[in-house]
């Protein structure tokens, strides 16, 4: 379900959000490689595969949604990319996750001020969602509606974004959140 940005509901409120939103090319410490990074030294185990049956209890998927919805686009990208690898990049779920990875990459590009990158990643996400929807022959996948995902990606590619953001502050740059059709869980 697509909701107004102000109505984002945390899916896993027991998990702390990072201390800052990483933006490549800024003075912020790299979250994983720099000892000052917000995720430095954190054990990075390969997550279990995501499926259309286990998504509502899949911690990594839900954390990725929380990160995305609260403006941590680089972190959401990383979470979903790890999940994409463990779910099989060429599987239906892997391709679905690839769309989410691309949509979060578009958010990173907004923060970097690369409008070309925003348009390229968002348009690519929309194409991926359309392809997966056609193959899956389903309206929803992992709690999210395909037509809404396609609309969100296409709309993201067309928007004008303000030029500067405070470095490190998480900011929702899109006028939507990705809220699966379920009750919040913890």
Q: How many angstroms separate the CA atoms of 67 and 76, rounded?
A: 5
User: Domain for residue 104, yes or no?
Assistant: yes
User: Domain for residue 71, yes or no?
Assistant: yes
Question: How much is the pLDDT for 44?
Answer: 80
One DSSP character per residue, 9-36 reads: --S-TTSPPPSS---TTSSSPPTTTSTT
User: Domain for residue 33, yes or no?
Assistant: no
Question: How much is the pLDDT for 183?
Answer: 47
Could you tell me the CATH number of the domain that includes residue 73? 1.10.3450.10
User: Domain for residue 102, yes or no?
Assistant: yes
Pure H helices in the chain: 59-69, 73-87, 92-112, 115-136, 146-158
Q: How many domains does the chain have?
A: 1
Question: How much is the pLDDT for 7?
Answer: 67
The overall average pLDDT reported for the chain is 90
Question: How much is the pLDDT for 42?
Answer: 86
User: Domain for residue 186, yes or no?
Assistant: no
User: Domain for residue 31, yes or no?
Assistant: no
User: Domain for residue 147, yes or no?
Assistant: yes
- Mean pLDDT in consecutive groups of 10 residues from the start of the chain, 186 residues: 57 93 92 92 88 95 97 96 95 97 96 93 96 91 94 91 84 91 54
User: Domain for residue 72, yes or no?
Assistant: yes
Question: How much is the pLDDT for 1?
Answer: 38
pTM exceeding 0.95: no
**In 3D, which of 79, 64, 76, 72 has the Cα closest to residue 28?**
72
Residue 159 makes CB contacts below 8 A (sequence gap 6+) with: 174, 175
Question: How much is the pLDDT for 69?
Answer: 96
Containing structural domain, residue 76 = 2-6+20-25+54-178
């Amino acid at each position: 379900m697509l909701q107004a940005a102000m109505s984002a509901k945390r899916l896993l409120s027991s998990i702390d959000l990072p201390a800052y939103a990483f933006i490549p090319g800024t003075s912020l410490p790299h979250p994983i490689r720099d000892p000052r990074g917000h995720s430095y030294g954190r054990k990075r185990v390969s997550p279990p595969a995501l499926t259309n049956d286990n998504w509502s209890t899949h911690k990594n998927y839900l954390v990725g949604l929380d990160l995305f919805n609260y403006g941590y686009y680089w972190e959401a990208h990383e979470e979903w990319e790890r999940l994409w690898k463990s779910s099989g990049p060429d599987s239906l779920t892997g391709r679905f996750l690839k769309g989410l990875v691309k949509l979060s990459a578009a958010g990173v590009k907004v923060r970097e001020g690369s409008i070309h990158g925003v348009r390229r990643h968002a348009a690519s996400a929309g194409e991926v969602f359309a392809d997966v929807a056609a193959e899956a022959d389903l309206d929803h996948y992992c709690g999210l509606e395909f037509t809404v995902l396609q609309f969100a990606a296409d709309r993201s590619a067309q928007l004008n974004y303000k030029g500067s953001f405070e470095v490190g502050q998480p900011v929702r740059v899109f006028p939507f959140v990705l809220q699966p059709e379920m009750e919040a869980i913890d």
